[in-house]
Amino acid sequence: MSAILSADDLNDFISPGVACIKPVETLPAAPAAASGSGVGPSASENEVFREDGNGAAGAPPAQISLTDCLACSGCVTSAEAVLVSLQSHAEVLRTLDAGPALQLVPSSSSSPSSLAYTVEGLDDPTRHLYVASVSPQTRANLAAACGPGVTEQQAGNMLEHLLAGPAGLRSAGTFGNGFTWVVDTNAAREATLVLGADEVLQQPLVRPPQDSLAVATTTTTTTPASAPRRPLLTSSCPGWVCYAEKTHPHVLRHLSQIKSPQALTGTLLKTTLSRTLGIPANRIWHVAVMPCFDKKLEASRAELTDGAWAAQDGLAAPAAAATAPVRDVDCVITSKEVLMLAASRGVDFFSLPKTRLQQPTSATSSSAAGSWSRSAGRLPFPDPILDRFLFPSRRRPPPDTAAGSSGGNLHFVLQSVLAQHPGATLHTARGRNVDVVEYSITAPNAPPNAPPLFKAARYYGFRNIQNLVRRLRPARPSRLPGGRPIGSARKLGGAAGNGASGAGAAGSGLDFAYVEVMACPGGCTNGGGQIKVDDAEVVARRDPSSVGEIATAAATAVQTTPGKPGPLEQKAWLAQIDEAYFSAGDESEDEMEGVVDRDGRDGQDRDPSASDTVDGISPSYVRATLAHWVRITGIDLQRLAYTTYREVVSDVGKAAKGGGDAAERVVQLAGKIGGGW
């Protein structure tokens, strides 16, 4: 290990500060207590107190939201975010039991190609429309947890039965509520892959058609001032992004501005349903099922709310008038919390049907529309074009093992470069460990010493991220006249022959054009929210052959804690999850169920232009779908699909410019807005 690194550098834990920047609120109606208050000079030095010593007698516990902590960095970081219970399976149940759901009633003239809904219950502010999105890593983890013979597709069917079917959440609860639509985040992933490749290769982004609504199309392409600097770093991992914002702000200029699949799915659902159904965004409640606890952090970002895309006179006007911004993703639960969610409703998840959900997910008054929805297994999405995009008639092909288990951002970029240079050769070189891989693409018939057309890399795990950010650190100017800069930036990237790296890489110690960065070693299938190898609820359901394999690995592994799985045992379990992940999309499963084309469609909706297909994805089809999204919402793509990042600076423990300690500045800040937050 490098001398610069230590065990403390392998996570983003920040020791608790001496004070929280959010003071305890004292209500004006409460009488002041002369003594015995839990907030005052006699309290612990780690508590916030007012200078006058006044506080409410028997003050209630301070309510600090996850959003507050994201803007602080004084004590809570992504490593401790799991301690904040704002987003959990209990929050899902509480929301479902808060009131009846909005009912979507198809009109009598509805058909699969043209569907119109009437929304019942909009006059009741307690009623909401519930939608969910599920990641493929979660389905793979649940498939491995179910035991032998259960595929990723079958685990996804079981999860859909839990969220939307009559045998799941709808079977209990105050109002029998469930989720109207359960969306696969792979649809948004395809969009992020295409937009990400455009960003790397500096191609123009999607432009809406000439007959679209009035949209500021001047912002649908990135400008040199706003485009990230080379090397471009992926930003779909919230643990990595939060770590960079709090600890290494110098890398923020390198982060990709494309939203993650979770965030893009949330924006698409809320903007489209608001426009097509006339439901305010704050009445649409979206839960995402993800493999990572840090996805809860991502959902809490202020940049991922309706404030980023709401138009003054457009679809989000009702939501924009709310007292607080409306999140694109209201709640995130993990794979482990899926089992807790089912148990809380008295449902045995492992006993749910493994076939597709065939029951309609909402009551209908139209016999024709109701019959069609039953045959389709779900209610059609209000917009037919987006319905075909979110729910394609043919299952997506299984991911390539070379793409990794984190969405395949780097793999798609490499395949896009190879598609632009027929005959080019891709070279792969493993780095210092299995989680560091370097790639280079050379031109056809290039001499041995010729510079590559394109260079990229993959860095997984915080141990490797430390090395990456150190190489990206800006150089310090020399104090000697005419001296050379000190630091990584003096090691210039290869500007010549580096393809997309160019001059942008000349300011860093890397000659890569693109780097895929993920916080978890092994990728997203190894997320912190996944069901683990030693989970008591799934041990008995494992394949007997895999149990023997895991037991053998455990016997040879070095275990520091008795009974705790060793590294080899955990590796064997992760291999089972990866196997389920990479086998997803097998059409033989559709044939076993007697279904080849879903919803009676011919499958042409998913890939209308196979001539430009890259890694099973048609960029022209994705761009056309995004242009349609821009057209129906009236919002430009820059606000829909892109986001921003900001350095998080903590003032806790730092001396103020005007003097005074942290407690005094907290009191002054609180006094300006009436005594507290």
When pLDDT is cut at 50, 70 and 90, the band that residue 297 belongs to is confident
Q: What is the pLDDT of residue 437?
A: 95
Q: What is the pLDDT of residue 373?
A: 41
Q: What is the pLDDT of residue 449?
A: 85
What is the average per-residue pLDDT within 611-639?
A: 93
Q: What is the pLDDT of residue 600?
A: 45
Average pLDDT, the chain: 75
Q: Is the confidence at residue 486, as pLDDT, over 80?
A: no
Q: Is the confidence at residue 72, as pLDDT, over 70?
A: no
When pLDDT is cut at 50, 70 and 90, the band that residue 64 belongs to is low
Q: Is the confidence at residue 666, as pLDDT, over 80?
A: no
What is the average per-residue pLDDT within 542-552?
A: 51
Q: What is the pLDDT of residue 568?
A: 84
Q: Helix or strand or coil: residue 360? A: coil
Q: What is the pLDDT of residue 365?
A: 39
Q: What is the pLDDT of residue 299?
A: 92
Q: How far is Cα 364 from Cα 379, in angstroms, rounded to an integer?
A: 10
Q: What is the pLDDT of residue 34?
A: 47
> What is the domain class of 224-256+407-474+486-522 according to CATH?
alpha beta
When pLDDT is cut at 50, 70 and 90, the band that residue 648 belongs to is confident
Worst-scoring range by mean pLDDT, 181-185, 284-288, 553-557? 553-557
Q: What is the pLDDT of residue 192?
A: 97
Ordered by start, the domain boundaries in the chain are 1-76+656-677, 81-222+257-400+582-641, 224-256+407-474+486-522
Residues 395-427: pLDDT tens digits?
888 888 899 999 999 999 999 999 999 999 999
What is the average per-residue pLDDT within 36-50?
A: 46
Q: Is the confidence at residue 389, as pLDDT, over 90?
A: yes
Percent of the chain scored above 70 by pLDDT?
61
Q: Quick check: 444 and 421 in contact, CB under 8 A?
A: yes
- Please calculate the CA angle 657-659-663 and round it to the nearest 5 degrees: 105
Q: Is the confidence at residue 3, as pLDDT, over 70?
A: no
Q: Is the confidence at residue 29, as pLDDT, over 90?
A: no
Q: What is the pLDDT of residue 584?
A: 73
Residues 74-103: pLDDT tens digits?
444 444 444 446 788 999 999 999 999 999
Q: What is the pLDDT of residue 148?
A: 81
Query: Which is more confidently placed, 430 or 365?
Result: 430
Q: Is the confidence at residue 507, as pLDDT, over 60?
A: no
Residues 185-225: pLDDT tens digits?
999 999 999 999 999 987 433 333 333 333 333 333 433 44
Highest mean pLDDT: which of 26-35, 421-430, 505-514? 421-430
Q: What is the pLDDT of residue 122?
A: 93
> What is the domain class of 81-222+257-400+582-641 according to CATH?
alpha beta
Amino acid occupying residue 267: T
Residues 328-380: pLDDT tens digits?
999 999 999 999 999 999 999 999 999 998 755 444 434 434 434 433 467 89
Worst-scoring range by mean pLDDT, 158-162, 535-539, 643-647? 535-539
| Rounded (10°) angle between helices 136-146 and 567-582 | 120
Name the pairing type of β-strands 117-120 and 103-106: antiparallel
Q: Is the confidence at residue 288, as pLDDT, over 70?
A: yes
Residue 585 falls in which region: left (phi positive, over 0), alpha (psi -120 to 50) or beta: left
Say which residue the tokens 């998080």 belong to: 648
**DSSP readout, 298-350?**
HHT-GGGBGGGT--TTSTTHHHHTSSSPPBSS-EEEEHHHHHHHHHHTT--GG
| pTM for the predicted model, two decimal places | 0.77
When pLDDT is cut at 50, 70 and 90, the band that residue 674 belongs to is very low
Determine the straight-line distance between the first and last CA of the chain, rounded to whole angstroms: 45
Residue in 307, 311, 303, 304 with CA at minimum distance from that of residue 324: 307
When pLDDT is cut at 50, 70 and 90, the band that residue 527 belongs to is very high
Percent of the chain scored above 90 by pLDDT?
45
**DSSP readout, 122-174?**
TT-TT-BEEEEEE-HHHHHHHHHHH-TT--HHHHHHHHHHHHHSTTTGGGSSS
What is the average per-residue pLDDT within 7-27?
A: 47
Q: What is the pLDDT of residue 145?
A: 94
Q: What is the pLDDT of residue 377?
A: 60
Residue in 264, 319, 411 with CA at minimum distance from that of residue 125: 319
Q: Quick check: 641 and 259 in contact, CB under 8 A?
A: yes
Q: How far is Cα 433 from Cα 424, in angstroms, rounded to an integer?
A: 27
Q: What is the pLDDT of residue 166?
A: 93
Q: What is the side-by-side order of every strand in the sheet holding 514-518? A: 232-233, 514-518, 454-460, 436-442, 425-430
What is the average per-residue pLDDT within 542-553?
A: 51
CB atoms within 10 A of CB 501: 26
Query: Which is more confidently placed, 592 or 470?
Result: 470
Worst-scoring range by mean pLDDT, 38-52, 154-168, 376-390, 440-454? 38-52
Q: How far is Cα 568 from Cα 576, in angstroms, rounded to an integer?
A: 13
State residue 444 phi and psi, 5-degree precision: -65, 140
Sign of the alpha-carbon torsion through 416, 419, 421, 423 = positive
Q: Is the confidence at residue 232, as pLDDT, over 70?
A: yes
